[in-house]
Amino acid sequence: MLKDKHLTVTVSPHIKTALTTEKMMWIVSCALVPAAGAGIYFFGFHAALVITVCVVSSLLTEFLCTLLMKKPATIKDGSAFLTGLLLALCLPPELPLWMCALGGFFSIAVTKFAFGGLGYNIFNPALAGRAFLMGAFAKEMTTWKTLQVFPDGITAATPLNLLKEQGYDSLMKVFDSHSHLFRELFIGRVGGSIGETSAGLLIIGGLILLFARIITWHIPVSYIFTVMVISYFTGGVFGIPFHLFSGGLVLGAFFMATDPVTSPITPKGQIIFGIGCGILTMLIRIRGGYPEGVCYAILLMNSVTPLIERYSKTKIFGVKR
């Protein structure tokens, strides 16, 4: 009866999970929608344009790269879309659009395809794109749209900027009280990149990723915990919520540091990676020249990922340590 049927012969297993790479990429993108929406809501129409240009430029670059390198078209797999979206979310809302397009191009062409395409890049493409723009257009990349009404003409925008350049007292002058500052940070009514403002919505997105089993707890928990510990010892009780909710920490910990390609493959390695990200972030925020350190912290840890993996191998069943 099976004579006329073609039987496929392969090695086992013969069934597989429904969670494919493509689905993972689109779920991550969806998890970012609330934060992206809040960015557009708070910063206005130009933020929407930044997001659109970044995504389109990433997709276009991906398409051209696969075409030129004669690789199978991967534009559908969602990874380029996600890179574009993540890049946009860590850019200032008023950034000129041609710079956004250039960022998307750099992320995909240089960071991803020059290293071999999906799965082979060393650095997180979105963050590398941001770092490139930061190096190339430092002024535009640090011009923030102001949301607060500043009582005495203070123009510095992000709370981290304010703290670093003008000190705690100036920060308090703007926000009156701790509770007011923390509330604004959590909701996202502060200056900053498009997607890194609303800590609350980003945490919701992060939880979606955890529950959908796209990411594991190892990197976000170790990263955030490390930041909390260091901020407690440097800034006391005020430091913990301030450092946790301001800047790109939540976005970085849930969406950037967890990029599977550029983070360690073993759970133990992921914890080391997260701790490293936390230490570097706080080092830059407190001692470094920049007010915010998430981007460079993650990029630096990306570069030591192979090294971490070498020393964080799993324990093989039945083999004594």
Binding stretches for another protein (CB under 8 A)? 1-2, 5, 7-17, 19-21, 23-24, 77, 117-120, 216, 260-261, 263-267, 270, 313-320
Cα separation, 167 vs 177, in Å, equals: 15
Please state the closest distance from residue 83 (CB atom) to another protein, in A. 13
- CB-based contacts of 256, cutoff 8 Å, min separation 6: 86, 90, 124, 126, 127, 248, 294, 295, 298
Cα separation, 44 vs 140, in Å, equals: 17
Please state the closest distance from residue 290 (CB atom) to another protein, in A. 29
Cα separation, 109 vs 67, in Å, equals: 12
Please state the closest distance from residue 257 (CB atom) to another protein, in A. 13
Please state the closest distance from residue 213 (CB atom) to another protein, in A. 8
Nearer Cβ to another protein, position 11 or 149? 11
Nearest residue to 109 (alpha-carbon basis) of 168, 48, 60, 76: 60
Cβ count within 10 A of residue 170:
16
Please state the closest distance from residue 113 (CB atom) to another protein, in A. 12
One-letter amino acid for residue 309 of the chain: E
Please check whether residue 283 is in contact with residue 293, taking contact to mean a CB–CB distance below 8 angstroms: yes
Cα separation, 199 vs 103, in Å, equals: 24
- The CA angle 242-206-34, to the nearest 5 degrees, is 90
Nearest residue to 21 (alpha-carbon basis) of 99, 107, 80: 80
Please check whether residue 222 is in contact with residue 167, taking contact to mean a CB–CB distance below 8 angstroms: no
Nearer Cβ to another protein, position 47 or 275? 275
Please state the closest distance from residue 315 (CB atom) to another protein, in A. 5
Buried b (16+ CB within 10 A) or exposed e, 49-63: bbbebbbebbbbbbe
Nearer Cβ to another protein, position 58 or 158? 58
Please state the closest distance from residue 219 (CB atom) to another protein, in A. 10
Nearer Cβ to another protein, position 117 or 192? 117
Nearer Cβ to another protein, position 77 or 184? 77
Nearer Cβ to another protein, position 120 or 168? 120
Nearer Cβ to another protein, position 163 or 261? 261
